[in-house]
Every structure is written in C-alpha cells, then in structure tokens.
Amino acid sequence: MSTASALDLSAIPDAQRAGVQALLEEVATLKDITKRQEHLIAELNHALHGKRSEKLTEDERQLAFEDLSIALAEVEAEKEKRATKASDGASTKPAPKRTIGNLPADLPRVEEIIEPASLICPCGCGVMHKIGEDRTERLDIVPAQLRVIVTVRPKYACRTCTDGVTQAPAPSHLIMGGLPTEAAIAHVLVCKYADHLPLYRQSQILARAGLDLHRAVLADWVGKAAFHLKPVVDRLAEHLKRSDKLFMDETTAPVLDPGRGTTKTGYLWALARDDRPWGGEDPPGVVYFYAPGRAGENAETFLTGFDGILQIDGYQGYNRLTKPSRKGGAPIRVAHCWAHARRKLKEIFDRDGSEIAAEGLRRIAEFYAIEADIRGISPGQRLSARQARTAPLVAAFGEWLQAQHRKISSKSRLGEKLAYIHNHWDGLQTFLTDGRVEIDSNRVENLIRPIALNRKNALFAGHDEGGIAWGRIASLIETCKINGVEPFAYLRATLTAIANGHPQSHIDDLLPWNFTPSS
C-alpha cells in the first residue's frame, strides 16, 4: 500500500488536499529513486569486492563500471532536477557538485567574459566599478581537426641572365608523394595499436569528417611505417637481450588464413624488462615477437643472444631453453611464477572449498606479505630479507606440499594442481637466490593485456605479416607507456627523424626512453 493510499486524505481540507497529495507522490518517487541508487551502488561493490568466482574479467569489469556509473549519474541528475524544481522561487541555489579530477595548468585557456546587462547603479549614482570577479573552469573538447599542409617552394630567376632557377629542395617525407604527414601516420598507428581502433572504423570516423580514405589506404600507411620502424624495434630487442633478467609470456593472436577462408591461431610473445621494483638503472621495455605457433622453438629463436634469468609461467615449451642443446646461447636459468601456483590452488578452493587448497593459499599469502614489505629496496637488501624471512616459509611449504602430494591422488583435480607446483619447484625457489628476481611474472602479464584488448576489438590480423607489424608497433607504443612517454608525440618525432635520414649509427637516440618532447 502506498503512503498516499495509507493516509486518509478526506480529513484534510479541500484547499490543501491537492498539495498534500503532490507531496506524498514526490516522497514516494524519491524513495524509489533512492532504492534504485542503493541497488546500483551494491552492484558496483559486488563487481569490485565480490567472490573471485563471481567476479568479472578486467575488461568486463571496466564495462560494468562504466554502465553502472552512467546509471548512477542518471539517478543523481534526476534527484538534482527534482531538488531544483522544489527550490523554485527560493533565493538560494543548490550547492554546485564538485567534479572529481583536475584541469592541468598547461592546457590552453580560452576566457569568456560575461558582463552584466547594465553597469548603471540602480540608485542612479552613475557607472559601477569592478571590485572583483568569479572564475570557473570547465573542460571543453574540440574534435580532431583535419587540415591540409600546403608546401610552397617559390622559384627565383635572374631578370638579367639566364644562368638558371633557384628553388629550395623539397622536404623529405616518410611516404614520398603520399597524402599523409608523419603526424597523420602516427595518429593512425596510435588509434589502431594503443586505442584498439581497427582501420575500417578509423575510415568511418574520417568519412564523418568529410574525408574519404579507404582502409586499404590506411593499411598502406601502417605497413610503410612498420617497415621504417623495424630497425628501431630490432635495436630495442638487442638492448633487452643484453639484460641479466627478463620476463617472457605469450598470448594468442588470431590471424586470417586466406587459403582456408578462416582464422588460425598465431602467437605474440612478449619479452620484457622491468627492474623498477629493485631500483635498477635500465629503463623498462617490451618487444612483441609474432610466430604462427606456440612451439618452444619460437621462444628459443627470439631469445638468441640472451643468457640471463628468464621469468616465465609453467608452459612446457620453455623447457628446451634450460637444456645444454639450447640454440642461440648457454642454458637459461628460469624463475617460475608464484602467482600461477597460487592460481591453481584458488581454482580448487573456489570450486569446492578445499581445506588443503585454503592452507596452501594461506602459506603463499605469507610470501607476498614479505614481498610487499621489501618492494623498492636494493637487490642485496631484498635477498637478505628473503633468506631470513621467506626461505624458512618456502621450505615449510615444500614439506607440506610433499606430504599432500603423497596422500592425494595425482588424477584428482587437486592432485593435478599440486603436481604442477611440485614439477616447477626449483624455478619457484629462484627468487630466494637473487634479489633482482620477482616472486611472479605479473609484470609481463600486464603488458600482454593491451594485446588482448586489440584482439578483442580488431578480431584478428589479416595475415601473418599483419601479426608481425602488430607486434612491431605495439612494442614501441607499450614501451612508451611504461616509460611515461606520450606515444603519439614519440611516433610523430621518430617517423619525422627517419624521413629526414636519421643515421643508423645514432639509432639509440630513437628508442622510446631517450625521447625528449619538444617544447
């Protein structure tokens, strides 16, 4: 029963009955709005803090946050509108709502000065004078501007003699005789590989702005840029492989197979360096190598010349890297990932609440608590802390693991998970012997995520060669991002330098971490 129906309106005088009825309906409406708002907030909290088995993937969670936030904003707007109506005729206005965020000081400001309709004093004293001002700032967005750069090269000749004509030489372009500037090419690259916007969608966006550029034209630009950027990416890979420790991981990259008219599964292998957790001097970087398959020989080829410690997951294809028969270098020492070990136990715990899995998770959590304490200190200090605090816990975990492994069937789901940890036990202890090694390979997994996003939006690469270009451009963009470099500014400057004949002997100047934005 509603509030209005529960209240006997017949006892209220006729002159006031309509007003009371309206107020009661307004209260009921506000209650419904508040109830919806509380439900949306509960949904947000569930998406963020719910059980892992009920949680969304990272991408799905972001979409859920966006849509729930939109719905919440709609509810708040309705409440604000009703509050404004209720205050009609009152002298006060609702307090302005503070927007989360800030407007950087270096953004250009365009001032709009709003003067009163009249500056004559109401009392007739004359013209009023300025005693102050109120300033408010709002973010404005001007859509991307398309423009044409017209290069004019005047010709000069002597009126007296006929010795010739003088004219400035034509500037160099990355695509000679082509339509795009280097900035236009950089824009297409960033949209495709950083913002995950396929070329056909870019073509549609440009068409709305009145520019008819088929995606085949844009593809031509991307292919030529990938060709010219290859030496930079190769040099980036050389720098990484000179390191003492790297991460490696792989992810699927669907590729169209023209012969069959379907897609096949290619792979992008990420080779990454990130020494920031222990204050290493080498800048972080990542290179993506494309291969048509997941065979371990691909990793062996990509790692030619690297002889350090490799932090990886438990994929068996990496096993060939540790053998004396390894091609391209000495046997590699591997460090396995405790996050993957934890994930195996978490799957069992979420499925059936296993007490054994819960105990394993509790023990691993102790390792991570110590890692949180020592993050950012020197390798020597990290090693000392691990040997003193973590090594005894890992040893105890090993004894517990052996005991559980003996009494649980290896054919059971839990037995399979415990066997995984047992089979990678040596690699799981590597972080106890070197302070530069991380406890897990989460850093390279985070660098794989942009590839997954691009895969979701672009669906697949059109050819194996497209997979190679995909990895090449993504290498530069993601290395820019983890070094705090704006990808568009970097690519524009780098493509311009290449077009102007940047010498191969100074190619290190073109690496993302050496980029200096022009003022």
Summarised one tens digit per residue, pLDDT across range 316-331 is: 888 888 888 888 888 9
Q: What percent of the chain has pLDDT above 70?
A: 80
Whether 44 has a pLDDT exceeding 70, the answer reads: no
* Residue 431 CA, distance from chain mean position: 27
Picking from 394, 395, 415, 391, the residue whose alpha carbon sits closest to that of residue 404 is: 415
Distance from C-alpha of 379 to C-alpha of 358, rounded to nearest angstrom: 31
Averaging pLDDT over each range in 15-24, 84-93, 288-297, 364-373, which range is the top one? 364-373
Distance from C-alpha of 511 to C-alpha of 233, rounded to nearest angstrom: 8
Going by pLDDT thresholds of 50, 70 and 90, the confidence category of residue 459 is: very low
388 vs 217, higher pLDDT: 388
374 vs 84, higher pLDDT: 374
- What pLDDT is stored for residue 452 in this prediction? 60
Averaging pLDDT over each range in 48-52, 65-69, 273-277, 460-464, which range is the top one? 273-277
- How deeply is 85 buried, as exposed, middle or buried, from its count of CB atoms within 10 A (0-12, 13-18, 19+)? exposed
Number of Cβ within a 10 Å radius of residue 66: 10
Q: What average pLDDT score do residues 158-164 get?
A: 78
- Pick from 326-340, 443-457, 469-483: least confident: 443-457
On average, the pLDDT of the chain sits at 82
- What pLDDT is stored for residue 88 in this prediction? 61
- What pLDDT is stored for residue 410 in this prediction? 84
Q: Domain coordinates of the chain in residue numbers?
A: 1-47+70-80, 181-298+459-519
> pLDDT of 381-405, one tens digit each?
999 999 999 999 999 999 999 999 8
Distance from C-alpha of 490 to C-alpha of 473, rounded to nearest angstrom: 12
Q: What percent of the chain has pLDDT above 90?
A: 37
DSSP assignment of 132-153 equals ----------PPPPP-------
Please tell me the total number of residues recorded for the chain in this structure: 519
Going by pLDDT thresholds of 50, 70 and 90, the confidence category of residue 432 is: very high
- Pick from 258-262, 449-453, 504-508: least confident: 258-262
- What pLDDT is stored for residue 157 in this prediction? 83
Distance from C-alpha of 13 to C-alpha of 461, rounded to nearest angstrom: 75
> pLDDT of 121-158, one tens digit each?
888 788 888 888 888 887 776 777 888 888 888 888 88
